Structure 1
Amino acid sequence: MAAQARGGTLVARVVRELSALSLQREEGAYLGAEDDLIAKLGVSRPTLKQAAKIAESERMISVRRGIRGGFYAARPNVNDSIRAINRYLRLRGVTLRELAVTGAISEEAAGFAAQCDDVGLHTQLKAMLVEARECIAPRALLDFDTRFVGHLAVMSGNPVIEVIVAMSYSFGRDEQGIYLYANEEQQAVAREHFDAIGQAVLKRDSELARFMMRRRLAVIGEWIGGADASQFGPINQLET
């Protein structure tokens, strides 16, 4: 048992050291060949291989074979983390009703996006608003919905908002399938929402952007059951 504990501790230490080496370099940078790292870290080949498998599974390094083979710096993929979180939430029996608490984060994403000064991100948002007008099918709207709010999260400049938005939309898509935006009325309302939120962001009106996102979430909540969006009034009245 003591030998196993020592072995486990050593492997864990090497995993941390491999991760630290990776973080010191840019993603994709060459960290060295297997023999180089054995010498650098002062460990045996089996220990390095065991640690490398763990570090690679955590997306901290990539191990390449053949020509130009060796160890390379890598970075975790947020989508892998999100899939793990979603699996955990499903095992806990979480539903869309409980996930609704993340709506406040989407509101903040819209509000902070309105403060974004990145010209390139503004240009992309304008192009997305044009694209939204052509989204007709439910699946196209669902795909656009995810990308649109994800873009606002990027514009917010807050990585925490990005992760939470990505997680909630990934979970929501799996849960609701194509039932959302299933009829022409919902599709038309969705396009109006996208445009209203996007225009508020482009006008740098944080409060309006937050309000329109809140209204949109209330309407979606009404569609999937349990919410009342009547308090917000028609979109065309809010834009005047």
Structure 2
Amino acid sequence: MMTGFKTHKSDMHFSFFFVISTLSLCVQSYQGLRIKSLEERILHLEKMIQQNCACEKERKITHGKVLMGETLIKANLNKRVKRTTGLQQIKRNSYMCAFSSILSKDLPNTGRTQTIVFDHVITNTGNAYNRHTGIFHAPSNGIFAFSWTMNSEKINGHFELMHNSKIITAISTELTNLEIGTTSATMVLQLKRNDVVFIRTDHIYGKTNIVSNVLMRSSFSGWQIF
């Protein structure tokens, strides 16, 4: 009986040791698998972080290149705009003109269609007005304004504004009971380059006595609007 009990007790000890050993191996195996899984996840995360860092670095480089490109484009555009504006301004300044001229003395006994030569120039920016002929030459295409004042004595004066060979308008001095009459007008014309504008006596009556002295000047002015 005692021998049987000892054998049974020894078997129980062996079984318990076997179970403990098995559980220990299982735990170690499970821990090893968990550690390996964690290591793999850590490696995967490290790769993702490296990839994200590389992408972020590339994005920053690309963004910097884009910004640099935009800056260069803007700079080039600004240069072109300034250059174009400067050229336009130079061109505009080279074409812009204005003049104002008066008769330096009386002009009696005029004939028909006689060009009035306003010989004393006050202003002639652009040199488009010729004081020797009384004719304005348009330096460029554009819109121009013209203003003129005429004085006549004893005989009513009739005067025409000419655009090339075309009569644009006519004005007259009405003396009535006065010995001297005066009249003036302003016109805006669209001209082409080399068009001419001038004042002349009318083509019907023509004859008059134009007055221009220190008390009242006959004058002719013009300027480019744009």
User: Do these two structures clear the TM 0.5 threshold for a shared fold by scoring above it?
Assistant: no
Higher relative contact order (CA 8 A, sep 6+): 2
- Normalization by structure 2: what TM-score? 0.23
Higher strand share: 2
- Normalization by structure 1: what TM-score? 0.22
Higher helix share: 1
